[in-house]
C-alpha cells in the first residue's frame, strides 16, 4: 500500500541545512513495528507519523529514531507542524496554531510565514527535570576524548527527553571532541540520560552557543539540531535562583561541523520565581514529496 511522505529540513531557512525529517502526513493503518521499520529505512535522526484526529488543527503524532520511539522531540514537532501547514497551502500573515498530541501530551506549535518560508515555534509547560548525579567533568572529558580542564561544567536536564549537558571551553574544543564508545558505555549508557549535548558559549540571558549532540543509544551518532535539548537547557538555566528576569533567551548554532548548519532560538518564561513555559523556534525548508510502498506485514492486522 502506498503512503505519501514529505521531506523537510528543520532549523534551516534554506534546503540542505538543518535537521532532516521524513513525515507521513496520514499514517493510518501502519503498525508500531511498521513505523519503526520505516524510520529505520529513512535513517534520518527522526521520522514522524501523523494520525489525523477529528478536531480542527489537532493531530496525533508519533516520533521514531532509527532505533526507538520518542515521547517528544523538537525538530520533528516543528517540522511536522510546518509540513502540515505547507500541505494546506494557507496564505496568511497570522500564525496558524496547531496542537500535536505526542506521547508526552499536547504540544502547541505556532507556524508563521516569514520571508517566503515557514517558521515554527513550539511551546511546552515549564516542568523541567533536573536530577543530580551527572558525571563529573573528568568523566565526560574521557567520553569526549578531550582534557578534563576543557570541560567547564556538567549537569542533567530534560523536558520530555532527558540529556546530559557538558559546557566546554571553546568552539574549537566542541569541534575536536569525539565520542569514545568504551568510555560512553561505562559512564553514560545506563545513566539518567545517555544523550550527550555539549556546547561552548555564553550562558547568560541573550547568549549564543555553539553545540553538538550525540545519542548512540537512539541510533543517532550525531544530530544536526536538537530542539528538545535546547528547550531543556534554556529551562534549566532560567530555573536558577540567580536569574530574576521574566524571559531568558539563548541562540544555538548546531550541525556546523557536519555541514548542516542549524539555527535554533530558545526561550523560557518565568513568573514568581518559577519557569512557566519553554519554547523553541526555527525555520523549516521544504525538500521533496513522494510515496513509500508499505508492505502488508507493516500494517495493523
Of the candidates 33, 46, 69, 139, the residue annotated as catalytic is 46
Cα-based distances in Å from 90 to 13, 64, 94, 242 = 18, 28, 10, 44
Position of cell 507556524?
111
Pick left, alpha or beta for residue 175 (phi over 0 → left; psi -120 to 50 → alpha; otherwise beta).
alpha
Chain-centre distance for alpha carbon 190: 21
Bridging pattern class, strands 247-254 and 207-215: parallel
Angle formed by the axes of helices 74-88 and 227-239, nearest 10° = 120
CA distance 158 to 146: 25
Torsion angle (degrees, nearest 10) of CA 274, 209, 227, 239: -10
Residue matched to cell numbers 504540544: 107
**N-term to C-term CA, the chain:** 13
User: 192-209 as b/e, with b when 16 or more CB fall inside 10 Å?
Assistant: bbbbbbbbbbebebeeeb
46 a catalytic residue: yes
Please answer whether residues 239 and 128 qualify as being in contact, where contact means their C-beta atoms are separated by less than 8 angstroms: yes
Catalytic residues: 46
Amino acid at each position: 500500500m502506498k503512503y505519501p511522505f514529505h521531506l523537510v529540513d528543520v532549523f534551516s531557512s534554506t534546503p540542505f541545512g538543518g535537521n532532516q525529517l521524513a513525515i507521513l502526513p496520514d499514517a493510518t493503518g501502519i503498525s508500531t513495528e511498521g513505523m519503526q521499520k520505516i524510520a529505520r529505512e529513512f535513517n534520518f535522526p527522526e521520522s514522524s507519523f501523523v494520525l489525523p484526529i477529528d478536531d480542527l488543527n489537532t493531530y496525533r503524532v508519533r516520533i521514531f529514531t532509527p532505533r526507538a520511539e520518542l515521547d517528544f522531540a523538537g525538530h520533528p514537532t516543528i517540522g511536522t507542524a510546518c509540513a502540515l501547514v505547507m500541505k494546506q497551502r494557507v496564505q496568511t500573515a497570522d500564525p496558524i496554531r496547531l496542537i500535536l498530541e505526542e506521547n508526552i501530551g499536547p504540544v502547541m506549535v505556532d507556524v508563521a510565514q516569514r520571508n517566503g518560508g515557514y517558521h515554527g515555534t513550539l511551546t511546552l509547560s515549564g516542568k523541567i527535570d533536573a536530577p543530580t548525579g551527572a558525571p563529573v567533568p573528568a568523566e565526560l572529558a574521557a567520553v569526549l576524548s578531550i582534557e578534563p580542564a576543557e570541560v567547564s561544567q556538567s549537569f542533567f536536564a530534560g523536558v520530555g527527553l532527558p540529556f546530559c549537558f557538558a559546557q566546554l571551553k571553546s568552539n574549537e574544543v566542541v569541534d575536536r571532541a569525539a565520542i569514545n564508545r568504551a568510555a560512553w558505555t561505562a559512564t553514560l549508557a545506563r545513566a539518567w540520560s545517555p544523550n550527550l549535548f555539549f556546547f561552548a558559549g555564553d550562558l547568560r540571558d541573550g547568549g549564543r552557543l555553539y553545540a553538538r549532540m550525540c545519542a548512540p543509544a537512539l541510533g543517532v551518532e550525531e544530530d544536526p539540531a536538537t530542539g528538545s535539548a535546547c528547550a531543556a537547557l534554556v529551562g534549566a538555566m532560567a530555573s536558577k535562583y540567580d536569574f530574576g528576569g521574566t524571559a531568558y533567551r539563548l541562540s544555538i548554532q548546531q550541525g556546523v561541523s557536519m555541514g548542516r548548519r542549524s539555527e535554533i532560538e530558545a526561550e523560557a518564561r518565568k513568573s514568581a520565581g518559577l519557569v512557566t513555559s519553554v519554547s523553541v523556534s526555527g525555520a523549516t525548508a521544504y525538500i521533496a514529496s513522494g510515496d513509500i510502498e508499505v508492505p502488508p506485514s507493516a500494517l495493523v492486522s
